[in-house]
């Protein structure tokens, strides 16, 4: 496909942010991205915003114009994009398609979520609306519960060990130590993961991504317009999106996320790349098993080998294919609507050589965002 340039990126700190409102978070990330791009508001043709559930988290719908208004971007078209935890990745894809269609030349894409104003119980219920409400949530199923079943089955089919799951969390917490925007700056051990409170057997507290407030933003431009603003853009060279059954019980396999596979195949084909050429990846580790399923579905490791590859350090910084250098959803945090955009921000920082102590050597990167337990997946390939 034709390339689309990422000319600016911006993040807020991720965490429990009591002193910032939903729109303030977006404006902070957006201002950073616009300043980074060296443009001003009058250059922006359109705004896309990933957000899962403003209505339930903060009693606010109609967030597209809310954000355009607070960001001073009216009257440009502003569009909200929703696909549960894949809302941010999908918003990026909408921005890419808007530019490739020729409709727009410079587009701001952001993602935002404010989750910590609710109790954990109500947050869990809100997140569970991204499952099949009739067959899963109404029966008491939660996201930790769904991923626990995937983990248990993966352990049964492939011999993945409880310790290997823990090693995903240990690695991602280690990476987050070097990410100033991350929610957690705490080194953890396998023993601590195994000793943390049980959430949904076999997953424990330290296997789970946290509940997070935060926003992320990128500025996209056509290749022609990008030259006006920067000599060193990062390009989105491939985009893929796929859907699958929303309910886990309808899938042929619960140890292979077919939407991840299909979105990855589309993104690789559009970029003219293979999994072997990817040198850094941000993947959807909402739970530790999620990272293992992601790297297998994306072909970064063989099917069933995710646990072993993690244990052998292949996915660590300095390993064969560093995964979640930002700390991932696990330790950087997971403000659901912002996550897919924040993943692209991290890959851009890596490709620009601006990732500080977590820097890896990469020309080709990948971002992978999942909605629900795999009903939606979005994959982007980025290159410098
Ligand atoms: N990882 C590491 N530490 C965590 C954590 C996590 N996921 N969640 C909470 N903590 C820490 C808190 O910082 C706090 O530490 P402190 O005592 O030092 O301040 C402590 O654990 C207790 O926090 P609390 O907020 O009381 O935890 P909780 O029991 O309310 O929530 C979970 C814990 C795991 C239930 C919650 O984080 C969760 O639901 N995560 C999954 C979110 C999710 O499903 N996202 C969508 C995926 S598709």
* Beta carbon of 147 within 6 Å of any ligand 1 atom: no
- The confidence score (pLDDT) of residue 302 equals 98
- The confidence score (pLDDT) of residue 37 equals 97
Q: pLDDT per residue over 196-245, tens digit each?
A: 999 999 999 999 999 999 999 999 999 999 999 998 899 999 999 999 99
- The confidence score (pLDDT) of residue 25 equals 98
Report, in this order, helix, strand and coil percent for the chain, each rounded to 5.
45, 20, 35
Q: Do 284 and 329 touch, CB atoms closer than 8 A?
A: yes
DSSP 8-state code for residue 15:
B
What is the distance between the alpha carbons of residues 215 and 67, in angstroms, rounded to a whole number? 12
Stretch (H or E) spanning 9? strand 4-11
Side-chain-facing half-sphere of 129: CA atoms under 13 Å: 15
DSSP 8-state code for residue 13:
P
> Mutation test of ligand 1: which of 168, 211, 334 has the most ligand atoms closer than 8 Å to its C-beta?
211
Could you list the mean pLDDT of each consecutive 10-residue stretch along the chain, which spans 384 residues?
Answer: 97 97 97 97 97 98 97 97 98 98 98 97 98 97 98 98 98 98 98 98 98 98 96 95 97 97 98 98 98 98 98 98 98 98 99 98 98 98 98
- The confidence score (pLDDT) of residue 236 equals 98
> Alpha carbon 348 to chain centroid distance?
13
* Beta carbon of 127 within 6 Å of any ligand 1 atom: yes
Q: Which two tokens stand for residue 242?
A: 């796929």
Catalytic residues: 85, 334
Nearest protein Cα to ligand 1, atom 20: 205
* Beta carbon of 124 within 6 Å of any ligand 1 atom: yes
Q: pLDDT per residue over 364-383, tens digit each?
A: 999 999 999 999 999 999 99
Instruction: Give Cα separations from 149 to 13, 146, 254 (angstroms).
Output: 32, 5, 8
Q: Please report the DSSP string for 202-230 in residue order.
A: TEEGGGB----EEEEEEEEEEHHHHHHH-
Q: pLDDT per residue over 40-52, tens digit each?
A: 999 999 999 999 9
What is the distance between the alpha carbons of residues 178 and 147, in angstroms, rounded to a whole number? 28
| Total length of the chain | 384
What is the distance between the alpha carbons of residues 92 and 65, in angstroms, rounded to a whole number? 18
What is the distance between the alpha carbons of residues 39 and 73, in angstroms, rounded to a whole number? 13
Q: For the beta carbon of residue 35, count every other beta carbon within 10 angstroms.
A: 13
- The confidence score (pLDDT) of residue 319 equals 98
- Collect all residues with Cβ–Cβ distance below 8 Å to 192 and sequence separation of at least 6: 206
- Walk me through the domains of the chain, giving residue ranges and CATH numbers: 4-118+211-234 (3.40.47.10), 134-210+236-383 (3.40.47.10)
Q: How far is the CA of 206 from the centre of ligand 1 (A)?
A: 8
Q: How far is the CA of 194 from the centre of ligand 1 (A)?
A: 15
* Beta carbon of 26 within 6 Å of any ligand 1 atom: no
- The confidence score (pLDDT) of residue 179 equals 98
Q: Do 47 and 237 touch, CB atoms closer than 8 A?
A: no
- The confidence score (pLDDT) of residue 232 equals 86
Stretch (H or E) spanning 65? helix 63-70
* Beta carbon of 143 within 6 Å of any ligand 1 atom: yes
């Amino acid at each position: 496909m034709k390339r689309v340039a990422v000319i600016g990126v911006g993040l807020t700190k991720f965490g429990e942010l009591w002193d910032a409102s939903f729109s303030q978070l977006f404006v902070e990330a957006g201002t950073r991205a616009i300043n980074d791009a060296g443009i001003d508001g009058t250059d922006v043709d359109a705004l896309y915003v990933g957000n899962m559930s403003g209505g339930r988290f903060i009693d606010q719908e109609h967030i597209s114009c809310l954000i355009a208004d607070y960001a001073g971007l009216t009257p440009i078209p502003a569009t909200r994009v929703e696909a549960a935890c894949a809302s941010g990745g999908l918003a990026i894809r909408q921005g890419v398609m808007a530019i490739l269609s020729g409709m727009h030349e410079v587009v701001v894409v952001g993602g935002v979520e404010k989750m910590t104003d609710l109790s954990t119980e109500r947050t869990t219920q809100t997140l569970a609306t991204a499952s099949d409400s009739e067959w899963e949530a109404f029966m008491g199923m939660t996201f930790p519960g769904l991923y626990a079943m995937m983990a248990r089955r993966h352990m049964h089919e492939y011999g993945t060990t409880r310790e290997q799951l823990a090693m995903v969390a240990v690695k991602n917490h280690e990476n987050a130590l070097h990410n100033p925007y991350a929610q957690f700056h705490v080194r953890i051990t396998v023993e601590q993961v195994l000793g943390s409170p049980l959430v949904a057997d076999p997953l424990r507290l330290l296997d789970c991504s946290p509940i997070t407030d935060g926003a992320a933003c990128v500025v996209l431009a056509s290749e022609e317009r990008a030259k006006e603003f920067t000599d060193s853009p990062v390009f989105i060279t491939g985009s893929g999106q796929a859907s699958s059954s929303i309910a886990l019980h309808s899938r042929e396999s619960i140890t292979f996320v077919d939407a991840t596979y299909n979105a990855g195949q589309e993104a690789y084909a559009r970029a003219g790349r293979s999994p072997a050429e990817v040198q850094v990846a941000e993947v959807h580790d909402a739970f530790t098993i999620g990272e293992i399923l992601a790297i297998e579905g994306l072909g970064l490791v063989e099917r069933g080998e995710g646990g072993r590859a993690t244990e052998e350090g292949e996915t660590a910084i300095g390993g064969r294919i560093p995964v979640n250098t930002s700390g991932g959803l696990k330790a950087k945090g997971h403000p659901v609507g912002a996550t897919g955009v924040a993943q692209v921000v991290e890959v851009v920082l890596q490709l620009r050589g601006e990732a500080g102590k977590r820097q890896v050597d990469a020309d080709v990167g990948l971002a992978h965002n999942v909605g629900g337990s795999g009903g939606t997946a979005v994959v982007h390939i980025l290159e410098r």
